[in-house]
Chain A
Amino acid sequence: MNKPANMNKLTAWTSSIFAFLVSISLFLSCTAENRNSAELIPVTVGITSFIGEAASFVAEEKGFFKENGLDVTLQINNAGSESVRQLISGTIDIAHVAETPAIFSTMDEKHISADRKDELQIVANMILANRIQKVIGRYDSGIEHPQDIRGKRVALAADTQLEYLLDSFLLEHQIGMEEIDTVHMNVHDQVAAFKNGEIDVAVVWEPHATNLLYYPEELAVELPTRLTYSTMWLVVVLDRYSEENPEVVSAYLRSLLKAQKYIRENPQWAVQLMSERTGVHLEVVTKAMRQIDYELSLSERTLSLLKEQKNWMIYNGYTASSDRSVIELINFRFMEEVYPEGITLIR
């Protein structure tokens, strides 16, 4: 008699546990669904379509933004300076820029709109690279050496770090700005203009530099400089945004960090993706990406380069302001939270 009674009790317990587990599963699946659909925070990020943006494209492609609760829209611009303007105007939430537009926006009054209430802040640097910006001349324009660019049509994307690069290049080779014919043109347009002979000299970053140098070969020559320029690709936000949405900024950096790890572990896949996203030949992207370390950082180098930019602006008379220290532009809070190992800057 006891045995059936025990069995009934056991069956009842089993049924209860099963029902409980089913309920929990349904609840969890419902909440997960809600979070996926309703809790994703919309974020618009201004980016430039070049290989320094690999982490952004990978994070979007692999869903790392969504994993961190963000619904990221990538706003593709021609240069970081454009993204800075959109950031200041409130069109986007986060901008990816080089140090030149960042410093321009902060120090050079002509770039700051009168009604701007917020200061721009740097939360992280995304890449470490040297020599990914180059001055390239056409052989058939009679250019083989730096000195040969005198009187030639030199294309320049204004308000970008390329402006600093060209300035240093001219300074090193003692060529006055007035000795060249400057043609203002964004980097993307420079490629076509260089290949069809509209310009004699292109000042570009990768992967366009490789594209011009090797496709086709013997068309172009890289003009040497001993003042190699280091490239940064900064994540910048406005003060107010970081104060109001700290979790978004942290989540955004976490997404990039994961994407960078993925790139290091899957370089071929990343190259393929970047080739598709930038429309640049696979071999070009492969060569170009080999020159870049994808790693979040805030280092002394970052500070040095920012200082260099500031000095350059003062030297060229772009700004008289030197009151504000460049270190004040950097907000360490998010890197400290997300990737403290990347901070090597002495504070």
Chain B
Amino acid sequence: MKIQEVNSPASAVPVALLPDDPLHTRFLNVLLAIWRAMTSSRRVAVGSAIVGFFILIGLIGPFFMPYNPNATSHLFITPPSPTHWLGTTVVGEDIFSQLIYGTRTSVFWGLGTGIMVTLLSVVVGLIGGYFGGWIDDVLTLLTNVSLVLPALPLAIVLAAYFPRGPLTISFVIVFTNWAWQARVLRSQTLSMRSREFVTAARMSGESSLRIIFHEIFPNEIGLVVAGFVSTTIYVVLTWAALEFLGLGDGTIPSWGSLLYWAQQAGALGGGLWWWFIPPGACIAILGAGLSLINFGIDEIADPRLRIERPANVEKHKKAVKLEKAQRNGDALLPL
């Protein structure tokens, strides 16, 4: 599936970039293009709304939690009720509060790690693609080796050796997942290297790093954004999976650690559905929101992938018929 992503990169996201413009104008243009992309496709709009909702909950939600997420009480394993909206755990913690606090942990660590992965792949991809030669050879070899090593088992082994905690998980995910995007960006940079504006910048004596990050990078921003979104989906899922396997810090509430404790307490065999359904649903909805954005970007980039509604075709046929009728009518008009 990822192979396909590499073959059809979303490079054609329409970003109007003129290299002569000052940097802040270019940046504004990029923002404008992102806004246009967000509002032009219904899928992207819905996806952005979902992701925005979770970010909002993560930002302000913890101020409105009904209980302290780690506070135990004598109300063990109560099903959802007006006082405990999502019931309680085996030690009487309020699951709704844990879910709200967990949203903060999961969303922000997920987005943050997504950014870290993207940064690393941008640096590796652009430097390799621009410099070429032995630097590129070494970086490409590293990228390709990293691509063939199985990510999840490697992440598990690494996480098992280092102290438990979000930083470890974040590091492990960055270490195992940067390569896909780096490869895409490298090939894009390679084709960008021989463009006129790069040659011009080189002629005018700009330093290599400035050319890479001020001239080439802004032109690949669409690709980087698309890569960031698909990486973040994967990061959120992997994060939850690693925590579910018990490799996270179980004392910090998050979607994954909720699932971990539910599994440890035998919530499944005990029929405590309110414990393991909500966190999984949150992950699924956030993931769906992100992939809606991603498919929207893909469709903008490659119009062939759009689902055409039959209704439009009919309308078109009608229009053609109408046109024909008019033409025939015209022809029938007495001269």
Q: Do A and B come from one complex?
A: no
